[in-house]
Amino acid sequence: MIHASLKQLAQALAEKRISAVELSQLYLDRIAQLNPGLNAYITTDPQRTLAQARAADARLAAGTAGPLTGIPLAHKDIFCTAGWLTTCASKMLANFVSPYDAHVVEKLNAAGMVTLGKCNMDEFAMGSSNETSHFGPVKNPWDTRCVPGGSSGGSAAAVAARLAPIATGTDTGGSIRQPAALCNLTGIKPTYGVVSRYGMIAFASSLDQAGPMGRSAEDCALLLNGMAGFDARDSTSLERPAEDYTRSLAQPLAGLRIGLPQEFFAEGMDDGVRVAIEAALAEYRKLGATTVEINLPNTQLSVPAYYVLAPAEASSNLSRFDGVRYGHRAAEYSDLNDMYAKTRAEGFGAEVKRRILIGTYVLSHGYYDAYYLQAQKIRRLIARDFEEAFKHCDLIAGPTTPGVAFPFGAKSQDPVQMYLSDIYTISTNLAGLPGMSLPCGFSETADKALPVGLQLIGNYFDEARMLNAAHQYQQVTDWHSRIPGDMQ
């Protein structure tokens, strides 16, 4: 059962081969057994989980179940969940119990899904390795000496180790796609505005977007159906008719034009990654797609522009954590200013402080024009690069990350090296485009084979086509169904 797809689970539940309570219990037992070694979950609450499962069983019995009813899932701990701790992996929110649900959580609860717990992540979603969590690093189930990627590393490790059938994640610069790549998962960051950000703790509001992280494109399409939709409480939520993201899965790929950005295939990519990507592209040609070379000339500027814009927005968003209304407050202080200063000094970790300092600096009088405005202009140029590229292709393909999962500590002392993990993913967020990662092979290292992710980038609102391309590939390859040796 722990290897079943969402569709198979829904069928098993409908046919009463298993109850929602039995299914969640199966996962809760596995979490109890394996999570201490992986640290993928920050919080579990079996009472709450089982109560939700019982409610799902009632709906299944009453014949009012939908396609997601009774299916367990894990939420990244950035989503507010009523009654549960919502920590964002920060000491600042280590004691925060949300009084309300995020829009995404509310929707998935209403669909009858069962929350298994809250997943570990980089603190406030800042990082690419899950090493910045206040609750300790998450281990990659493929090699526990290595990082699972970040910031949605807990969600990725949970699904890879079969501690959840599927999970939610968020992606500001690559945080769904990069951990999906490093843990052999399929994950999609939708077009900006497709999924509501209400109740999703804000990092960089103009870039943040939630999406599913699962074991196949089909599973992701099903969860995205449950997550997407207009929400008046998010001013950037898009008012569009509801879509069925599974609708094109079965479509053949003949005639699909795949653009290969020359800048993505230049130097910087590890050999093991390159070999797997080339093989995946050959498979796509066999499926009837054609590949064309395209250019995204401003790719090199995406990381520098992001590290001005994202910290600028973060410095503003994180000003709300002042010790007054919720979260951590310093125990001793002399006056109000001292309380703010001590609370924030104690509550935030080093990477979060770094971002707040950078963000405050680039927004300050005298530097705003030189940094923030310049970065906004680059952002526009990057969006234009994609606009031009999509005149020549339907989808863009390339690596998700330059390398595979790296050992703990390998990049944590060198922020720039860490930031470069997202060199292929960040431009998508800057442009607001949808992007996804899917398993496409393994890179053999001395003593282990580690997963490689293929990235697909689509034009605005082309999620269904991307999921179609991923699904067709997953019909003829089995990379996505491989599981870590010790997790069978």
Q: Is 76 annotated in the active site?
A: yes
Q: Which residue, 173 or 484, has its beta carbon nearer to ligand GLN?
A: 173
Least separation in angstroms between residue 429's CB and ligand GLN is 7
Q: Which residue has the tokens 């690093």?
A: 137
Residue type, 347: G
As a 3-state breakdown, the chain gives helix, strand, coil percent values, each rounded to 5, of: 40, 15, 45
Residue type, 281: L
Residue 261 interacts with ligand GLN (CB under 6 A)? no
Considering only residues 299 to 328 of the shown chain, the ones binding ligand GLN according to CB under 6 A are: 310
Nearest to 118 by CA among 64, 148, 69, 163: 163
Least separation in angstroms between residue 270's CB and ligand GLN is 18
Listed in sequence order, the residues at least 6 apart from 319 whose beta carbon sits closer than 8 Å to its beta carbon are none
Count residues near ligand GLN (CB under 6 A): 13
Q: Which residue, 310 or 358, has its beta carbon nearer to ligand GLN?
A: 310
Least separation in angstroms between residue 196's CB and ligand GLN is 17
Q: Is 7 annotated in the active site?
A: no
Q: Which residue, 202 or 467, has its beta carbon nearer to ligand GLN?
A: 202
Centre a 10 Å sphere on the Cβ of residue 48 and count the other Cβ atoms it contains.
Answer: 17
Considering only residues 134 to 193 of the shown chain, the ones binding ligand GLN according to CB under 6 A are: 151, 171-175
The answer to whether 169 and 175 are in contact (CB under 8 A) is yes
Q: Which residue, 165 or 169, has its beta carbon nearer to ligand GLN?
A: 169
Stretch that binds ligand GLN, among 125-133, 229-237, 388-396, 479-487 (CB under 6 A): 125-133
Q: Is 175 annotated in the active site?
A: yes
- For strands 209-214 and 290-294, give the pairing: unpaired
- The two structure tokens encoding residue 154: 């807990």
Least separation in angstroms between residue 305's CB and ligand GLN is 12
Catalytic residue among 24, 90, 155, 175: 175
CA 380 to each of CA 308, 426, 427, 431: distance values in angstroms, whole numbers, following the listed order: 14, 14, 11, 8
Least separation in angstroms between residue 127's CB and ligand GLN is 5
How buried is residue 24: exposed, middle or buried, by Cβ count under 10 Å (0-12/13-18/19+)?
buried
Residue type, 321: F
Hey, which residues does 76 pair with through a beta bridge? 119
Q: Which residue, 400 or 472, has its beta carbon nearer to ligand GLN?
A: 400
Listed in sequence order, the residues at least 6 apart from 193 whose beta carbon sits closer than 8 Å to its beta carbon are 209, 236, 237, 238, 432
Catalytic residue among 19, 151, 152, 216: 151
Cα(19)–Cα(29) distance, rounded to whole angstroms?
Answer: 15
Residue 78 interacts with ligand GLN (CB under 6 A)? no
Site string for ligand GLN, 380-419 (x = CB under 6 A): ----------------------------------------
Residue 115 interacts with ligand GLN (CB under 6 A)? no
Among 127, 141, 229, 399, the residue binding ligand GLN under the rule CB under 6 A is: 127
The answer to whether 345 and 356 are in contact (CB under 8 A) is no
* Binding residues vs ligand GLN (CB under 6 A): 125-128, 151, 171-175, 203, 310, 422
What amino acid positions are annotated as catalytic residues?
76, 151, 175
